[in-house]
Chain A
Amino acid sequence: MTQPKHTIVALVADRPGVLNRVASLFRRRGFNIESIAVGRTEMKGVSRMTIVVSGDTATVEQVRKQLDKVIDVIKLSDITDEDRVDRELALIKVKTTPQNRSEIMQIVDIFRANIVDVAAESVTVEVTGDEDKISSLLNLLRDFGIKEVARTGRLAMTRGTVPT
């Protein structure tokens, strides 16, 4: 049975070991992280984590409360039900032949993705978008042969003026 996914945004103090504090909390309490993405913010000393967890409402509520107890977690929001922008970046290295290269380039164009590296037998595609878009592109490219995929995990932000 698939559990609904929740998107949680945590603003955390930019200190060594914070990612470890958050990640190990998930591990020891048996919560499953689908993805976690971390980076700096516009505020000095504050990093932003976008965490995707799956589980029923009670589990996710418990995740949120336990995370909130971590001293380095400054602010926490569950933006699952908010109007929001979700983005993920993926780099996809696809096998190419001289015959199918232009077909691949067409597909990449349709998805408004970019080719960021070309080699004799492969191209590397950079794509940003929500999870569905990236999965669709991956599905289309799979037939050509995928050599490598790297994905960032989800980044999310609410739309409009309400900050997360």
Chain B
Amino acid sequence: MKLTGAQIVCESLAREGVEVMFGFPGGTLLPFYDTLRHYPQLRHILVRHEQGAAHAADGYARATGRPGLCCATSGPGATNLVTGIANAYLDSSPVIAMTGQVARPFIGKDAFQEIDITGITLPITKHNYIALSAADLARIFKEAFYIATTGRLGTVLIDIPRDVFIEEAEFHYPVKVDLPGYKPILRGHPAQIRKAAQLIDRAKCPVIISGRGVIISGAHQEIRELAEKAQIPVITTLLGTSSFPENHMLSLGMLGMHGLAYANMAVTHADLVIAIGMRFDDRATGIVSGFAPKASIIHIDIDPAEIGKNVRVDVPIVGDVKHVLRELNKQVTNQTHVGWIQQLEQWRQEHPSIDIRGGEELLPQYVIRSICEVTNSDATIVTGVGQHQMWSAQHFCYKKPNSFISSGGLGTMGFELPAAIGVKVGRPEETVWCVAGDGGIQMTIQELATMVQERLAIKIAIMNNGYLGMVRQWQELFYGRRYVATPLMGPDFLKIADAYGISALRVKKRSEVIPAIQRAMEHDGPFLIDFMVEPEESVYPMVPPGATLAQVIECPKRKAAVPSTSGTVSNI
């Protein structure tokens, strides 16, 4: 039977089990939207800006593990997706973006709303396609879903000219893909796993660094088994936050630029680092020449290109984290490491790192702790990028797997609100807190309308300090406290909330925090709290750029000048 291109697209999405897509229509997509009427099982969520569609698809993918779908029209619609696609790409999130393209006879003529989106997205997609005939569509969709959801997960873009949506072709959805150049490796090499097990058995001061790969692979149980069996403390990367329960006695929290002092010390003194599903990002390692100087390194990752890219590795294991850990756990013997764990406990006592001051001041850290307390850690925290993100990573106690969703690799301000929409759509029964900065939320604030239209009961906490806080912090520390272009006048967020029909509260004092959060939780629907936090509060500990993890600045006396650590402060 012959179907139109638009029907083939809808059928393909149905075969792949797609339930929801985030999009924004436009001229070149109209044949598709007109066909979408006949597919009620495919819920379409209308965003207010295409960037929101990509972030929402990303949030949905991170929350559910299923591919997130977004679509936009040609030209500006497609370019508006770019930030969201790049964000998903850098954090290995399976997002499929579908764009409309001008009709085939117009391609290459600089036609109205024409842009070479496959060219633009070449460096930020795992793979991309332009469908030049309706007969190719079914194969392309089959391949796209396969590529996005296997191996190292990633983004795939499919560009479809308007007349291809209208053209008719026979529809056969392929059962198998035929991609001779694409063979993800899932099982780790047995000899390498044996070597790793031997190294682990011999180690005196081992640490595990757990990254987002553990979450993606769903290896929470396996990593816990390894840690408990061999008594190895677990440190997480920013995106590995919530890959290991933080109330576990072997949890050491986060490492890196804003990691906890004792986690960074543990890495610096370890004789073995077992890096699992992480990619040695410079924000996690500090300057690499000083990273884990005493340690042998075992690196487990599904992407062979990540191995040895940034740091030397003694035992590389390419494979899916879950498969590899299952095999590894069979071979690792029971260990104790009493002395090492006591040493870490002593460092923990000596470097409390993230204790916060008493008093009535409204500290953002206190707000995060209060959300944790009121929700009893039973919530998913979605953040943007900046100080609030770091406080959210440091001060919430993540007990549930995959309960921290944030933009890591790209560091995209404005990710939080649309991503929270995707998360809530994917996990409707769950409490979702969108923690935002007053800067970042203004980048995608129009998505409040999407949230309300879709009746998504997201709770929003704005850490309102009147600054682009993280940039201000860098100006304070490294630019002589010259606050150029960081003081930020925000709107009255209560009036904004009101305009969208969202209930809201403003909180100015510490004593008001818990009642406000409780009120938000009790409220049946979206709720926004504008927390007027200390304007010049900074995130500590901090490893300055250009320093090693050993050169951590712990909370200095407030407003005292911070000595430069190594004289090589650069690369902002």
Q: A residues bordering B, Cβ < 8 Å?
A: 12-13, 17, 20-21, 24, 28, 58, 61-62, 65-66, 68-75
Interchain nearest-CB distance for A137 vs B (Å):
38
Measured CA separation A66–B181 after assembly (Å): 13
Given the contacts A70-B181, A71-B179, A71-B182, A65 and B147 also touching, CB distance less than 8 Å: no
Q: For A68, what are the chain B residues with a Cβ–Cβ distance below 8 Å?
A: 304-305
Q: For A74, what are the chain B residues with a Cβ–Cβ distance below 8 Å?
A: 180-181
Q: Which of A21, A65, A66, A74 has its CB near the most chain B CB atoms (within 10 A)?
A: A65
Q: Is the CB of A24 within 8 A of B303?
A: no
Interchain nearest-CB distance for B204 vs A (Å):
29
The residue that B305 contacts in the complex, of A21, A58, A69, A72, with Cβ under 8 A, is A69
Q: Is the CB of B181 within 8 A of A13?
A: yes
Q: Is the CB of A61 within 8 A of B308?
A: yes
Residues of chain B at interface, number, CB under 8 A? 17
Measured CA separation A72–B180 after assembly (Å): 8
Q: Is the CB of B181 within 8 A of A24?
A: no
Q: Is the CB of A65 within 8 A of B305?
A: yes
Given the contacts A24-B123, A71-B127, A65 and B304 also touching, CB distance less than 8 Å: yes
Q: Is the CB of A71 within 8 A of B147?
A: yes
Q: For B123, what are the chain A residues with a Cβ–Cβ distance below 8 Å?
A: 24, 28
Q: B residues bordering A, Cβ < 8 Å?
A: 118-119, 122-123, 126-127, 147, 179-182, 303-305, 307-309
Q: Is the CB of B181 within 8 A of A71?
A: yes
The residue that A21 contacts in the complex, of B122, B179, B303, B304, with Cβ under 8 A, is B122
Measured CA separation A74–B180 after assembly (Å): 6
Measured CA separation A62–B313 after assembly (Å): 14
Look across to chain B and name the residue whose beta carbon is closest to the beta carbon of A76: B181
Look across to chain A and name the residue whose beta carbon is closest to the beta carbon of B127: A71
Q: For B308, what are the chain A residues with a Cβ–Cβ distance below 8 Å?
A: 58, 61-62
3 shortest interchain CB distances as A-B pairs:
A65-B305, A74-B181, A71-B127
Measured CA separation A12–B122 after assembly (Å): 17
Look across to chain B and name the residue whose beta carbon is closest to the beta carbon of A25: B123
Q: Is the CB of B305 within 8 A of A75?
A: no
Given the contacts A13-B181, A17-B118, A71 and B305 also touching, CB distance less than 8 Å: no
Q: For B181, what are the chain A residues with a Cβ–Cβ distance below 8 Å?
A: 12-13, 70-75
Q: Is the CB of B303 within 8 A of A69?
A: yes
Q: Is the CB of A62 within 8 A of B309?
A: yes
Q: Is the CB of B182 within 8 A of A24?
A: no
Interchain nearest-CB distance for A68 vs B (Å):
7
Q: For B304, what are the chain A residues with a Cβ–Cβ distance below 8 Å?
A: 65, 68
Look across to chain B and name the residue whose beta carbon is closest to the beta carbon of A27: B123
Measured CA separation A52–B309 after assembly (Å): 21
Q: For B126, what are the chain A residues with a Cβ–Cβ distance below 8 Å?
A: 69, 71
Q: For A72, what are the chain B residues with a Cβ–Cβ distance below 8 Å?
A: 181
Look across to chain B and name the residue whose beta carbon is closest to the beta carbon of A61: B308
Interchain nearest-CB distance for B496 vs A (Å):
39
Look across to chain A and name the residue whose beta carbon is closest to the beta carbon of B180: A74
Measured CA separation A65–B305 after assembly (Å): 5
**A-B pairs with beta carbons under 8 Å apart, 18 shown:** A12-B181, A17-B118, A20-B119, A24-B122, A24-B123, A58-B308, A62-B305, A65-B305, A66-B305, A69-B126, A69-B305, A71-B126, A71-B147, A71-B179, A71-B182, A74-B180, A74-B181, A75-B181
Q: For B305, what are the chain A residues with a Cβ–Cβ distance below 8 Å?
A: 62, 65-66, 68-69
Q: For A66, what are the chain B residues with a Cβ–Cβ distance below 8 Å?
A: 305
Q: For A65, what are the chain B residues with a Cβ–Cβ distance below 8 Å?
A: 304-305, 307
Look across to chain B and name the residue whose beta carbon is closest to the beta carbon of A66: B305
Q: For A75, what are the chain B residues with a Cβ–Cβ distance below 8 Å?
A: 181
Q: For A24, what are the chain B residues with a Cβ–Cβ distance below 8 Å?
A: 122-123
Measured CA separation A70–B304 after assembly (Å): 13
Q: For A58, what are the chain B residues with a Cβ–Cβ distance below 8 Å?
A: 308
Measured CA separation A123–B308 after assembly (Å): 52
